[in-house]
């Protein structure tokens, strides 16, 4: 499979399953309604597992512009390939968020709370505070990218033919890592830790004819983009220094 196609498909699956579990928990009259944060964080961890399994042999399974950027800064990924990876990650995330809406359309029609609707597409902070929210996203993404570097240290040194990325770490360790980040660090902002994960579905929320959808909150939208990019950059710099 072409690496860009792999990134697109895997990021689509990531958002289909990740935002799908959010929709299942927060939208009214679903079978999983009100089942809680543990279900959401577990679902996101397993969504990452699914995406990594699909894309690992072909693209390295970045699935995340912050990972792609961090690897490029560390000299482990070609800068020439960075724009293409990021574009298809965003497109895959957009499609994933759109299909979640189509699948749950009847439940969206039953939802009056605009913040609940938006939360199934993009992240919303528990307490709105730009500095604190940005810091949360930086810290969460730093942990993701920094730990990935260390788990995959042998592969980064050339011990594997697997393309560099989350796939070189292995799907299960990455799933546990994302699950742990969600449980330990995700309660402040909803832990985007991935610009494509937030931007693509937020764009879908803006475009789609969703009943009672309200604002897409682009005033907050820069935080889950900038925070992860800064966190991934810092993780790569610290990794190179030590």
- The CATH number that applies at residue 79 is 1.20.1080.10
Count: domains in the chain: 1
* Average pLDDT of adjacent 10-residue blocks, the chain of 242 residues: 97 98 98 97 97 93 96 94 98 98 97 97 98 98 94 54 67 94 98 98 98 96 98 97 91
Rounded CA gap, 27 and 17, in Å? Answer: 15
Q: Considering all CA atoms of the chain, what is the largest pairwise distance in Å, rounded to the nearest integer?
A: 53
Tens of pLDDT, residue by residue over 60-84, are 999 999 999 999 999 999 999 999 9
Q: Up-side HSE of residue 242: CA atoms within 13 Å toward CB?
A: 9
Q: What are phi and psi of 52, to 5 degrees?
A: -65, -40
Give the chain's end-to-end CA distance (angstroms, integer).
35
78 lies in which domain range? 3-241
pLDDT at 158: 42
pLDDT at 146: 96
- What is the Cα Rg of the chain in Å? 17
Residue 158, exposed/middle/buried by CB under 10 A (0-12, 13-18, 19+)?
Answer: exposed
In the DSSP assignment, the letter for residue 127 is S
pLDDT at 228: 98
pTM value is 0.94
């Amino acid at each position: 499979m072409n690496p860009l196609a792999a990134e697109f498909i895997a990021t689509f699956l990531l958002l289909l399953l990740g935002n799908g579990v959010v929709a299942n928990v927060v939208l009214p009259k679903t079978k999983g309604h009100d089942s809680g944060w543990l279900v959401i964080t577990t679902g996101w961890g397993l969504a990452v597992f699914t995406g990594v399994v699909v894309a690992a042999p072909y693209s390295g399974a970045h699935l995340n512009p912050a990972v792609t950027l961090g690897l490029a800064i560390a000299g482990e990924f070609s800068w020439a390939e960075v724009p293409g990876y990021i574009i298809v990650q965003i497109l895959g995330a957009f499609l994933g968020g759109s299909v979640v809406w189509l699948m749950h359309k009847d439940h969206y029609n039953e939802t009056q709370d605009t913040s609940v609707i938006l939360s199934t597409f993009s992240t919303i902070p528990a307490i709105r505070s730009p500095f604190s929210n940005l810091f949360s996203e930086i810290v969460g993404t730093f942990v993701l990218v920094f730990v990935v570097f260390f788990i995959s240290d042998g592969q980064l040194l050339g011990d594997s033919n697997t393309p560099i990325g989350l796939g070189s770490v292995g799907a299960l360790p990455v799933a546990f890592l994302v699950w742990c980040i969600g449980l330990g660090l995700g309660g402040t902002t909803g832990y985007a830790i991935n610009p494509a994960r937030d931007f693509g579905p937020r764009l879908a929320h803006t475009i789609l004819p969703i009943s009672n959808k309200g604002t897409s909150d682009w005033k907050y939208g820069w935080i889950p983009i900038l925070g992860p990019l800064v966190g991934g950059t810092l993780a790569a710099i610290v990794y190179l220094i030590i």
